[in-house]
């Protein structure tokens, strides 16, 4: 399911003129490092990202998703975004890659 989520994210980000730099997931959250344009409206982008990924994952993995999530939404309403200056992309990629990936 995580591999499929990564595919969906790659497709979706390209539609927003964004690019996945790195991606990793844990059991209860994901880390997505991406490049975006100054014109990207991040709240709209995140809302679209959560809506689209939830729809696809619920459709393609209903048994697995419903086993863990009993609400009508897959993602909660919160998110954290930080832009970086003074930190290399390599440092950020190492952080994302170091997160524990569930089985």
Tokens of 54: 């939830």
Q: In the beta sheet, which residues pair with residue 31?
A: 24
Per-residue pLDDT tens digits for 30-40:
889 898 998 99
The verdict on residue 85 lying in a domain is: yes
The H or E element that residue 32 is part of is: strand 30-35
Domain that holds residue 59: 2-97
Are 34 and 20 spatial neighbours (Cβ–Cβ below 8 Å)? yes
The verdict on residue 103 lying in a domain is: no
Which DSSP string do the residues of 36-50 spell out, in sequence order?
A: --TT--HHHHHHHHH
Confidence of residue 102 (pLDDT cuts 50, 70, 90): low
Is 103's pLDDT higher than 80? no
Per-residue pLDDT tens digits for 58-98:
899 988 887 777 666 678 888 888 777 677 778 877 877 88
The verdict on residue 102 lying in a domain is: no
Which one-letter DSSP state was computed for residue 24?
E
Instruction: Indicate which CATH number applies to the domain containing 65.
Output: 3.30.70.1290
């Amino acid at each position: 399911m995580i591999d499929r989520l990564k595919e969906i994210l790659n497709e979706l980000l390209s539609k927003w003129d964004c690019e996945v730099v790195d991606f990793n997931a844990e059991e209860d959250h994901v880390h997505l490092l991406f490049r975006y344009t100054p014109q990207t409206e991040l709240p709209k982008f995140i809302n679209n990202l959560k809506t689209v990924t939830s729809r696809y994952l619920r459709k393609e993995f209903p048994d697995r998703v419903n086993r863990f999530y009993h609400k009508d939404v897959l993602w909660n309403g919160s998110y954290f975004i930080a832009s970086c200056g003074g930190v290399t992309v390599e440092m950020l990629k190492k952080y994302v890659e170091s997160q524990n990936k569930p089985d």
